[in-house]
Amino acid sequence: MTESLVDVAHVPPPPGRRQFPGVGLLRSTSGLQRATLVAGLVLVAFFVLVALFAPLIAPYGFSQQSSGGQDFPALQGPSADHWFGTTVGQLDVFSRVAYGARTALIVIVLALAFSIVVGIALGLVSGFVGRWVDRVLVLFMDAMYGFPSLLLAIVVSASLGAHLSGGFGGIMAASISITVVFIPQYFRLVRNATVSVKAEPFVDAARVTGAGSGRIMFRHILPNVTSTLPVILTLNCSEAILTLAGLGFLGLGIEPTSASEWGYDLNRALPDVSNGIWWTSVFPGLAIVFVVLGLTMVGESINEATNPLLRTRRGRSKDAS
């Protein structure tokens, strides 16, 4: 009897019952919340596809000023040859917007990867070790967290500008500038959760079995303190877009000859707005708005679907109605 139960327990589920990643999350939503999640996912997916296939989508290079031996006209409105018009520097706006999506995606991935690795590692060490290590790290992170995020990114970007230049160097400088802004958030989240989890019985059991500190932190505690990271990660993506655009708008972002960047394009379009030339600013601005909107919608929907308190409130409101 026991053997039959064990055999049944190890039978894999039928292929038809396997779900794609995210299907469970989608099924946990309903009504307006599901519509918001789907709309956000569509916007984010479109942004990622444009970023990945920018060389195939863009008809010209992001710094290309001529084609077939003829220079592009300056400040030409949207037309069949230039769908989003051209800039005063004879650049195709549509190509700049498409390549700007690729730049934004690379910076987001690098910045969040650096932030997660550093923030989680420091948070685990601080919460698990405690004592003077915890005090020093908490004091340092609180000091960083007290700075306005854009101001901190500006300071770091200005400091790295002389050392990191060119295409990849400029992208790295922008990524590190955003990383410094996000590290305190992940540190505080993981550190506070670690302080609570390390007192649980399963951690004591791991110590009794002879597990080392590193194994306890990364094998036993880490999986139990990262449940809320997807929500913060999604919301930080939108904040990273805005910070990158702010740096580019102030002239502290990536060099314009190395990569296309939406914030820089908005800065260059300021004189055009007063002259009634709208296309050089509207299309990069709309790109920022739609990407940030999509990421925010996904983040808020995930938060509502995974937060037990919000689910309870939503259930009570349905019962009351």
Q: Tens digits of per-residue pLDDT, 107-135?
A: 999 999 999 999 989 988 888 887 888 89
d(C-alpha 197, C-alpha 310), whole Å: 23
| Residue 25: per-residue pLDDT | 63
Task: Please name each of the domains of the chain with its CATH number.
Answer: 31-64+75-298 (1.10.3720.10)
Per-residue pLDDT of the chain (321 residues; tens, 9 = 90+): 444 433 433 444 444 455 555 566 666 666 777 788 889 999 999 999 999 999 999 999 888 888 888 888 888 889 888 899 999 888 999 999 999 999 999 999 999 999 999 998 998 888 888 788 889 998 988 888 888 888 888 888 888 766 666 667 778 888 888 999 899 989 988 888 888 888 778 777 877 777 777 788 888 788 877 777 877 888 888 899 999 998 888 887 777 777 888 999 998 898 888 888 999 999 999 999 999 999 998 888 887 777 655 554 455 545 444
Beta bridge partners of 70: 67
| Residue 114: per-residue pLDDT | 92
| Residue 55: per-residue pLDDT | 92
| Residue 99: per-residue pLDDT | 93
| Residue 300: per-residue pLDDT | 81
Residues 119 and 184: beta-carbon distance below 8 Å: yes
The pTM assigned to this predicted structure is 0.81
- Cα torsion for 223, 226, 230, 236, to the nearest 10°? -140
Which ranges of the chain would DSSP assign to H, the alpha helix? 2-9, 23-27, 31-52, 54-57, 93-129, 131-145, 149-160, 166-197, 201-208, 213-215, 222-225, 229-249, 262-274, 279-306, 308-320
Residues 105 and 50: beta-carbon distance below 8 Å: no
Return the amino acid letter for 219.
Answer: R
| Residue 4: per-residue pLDDT | 42
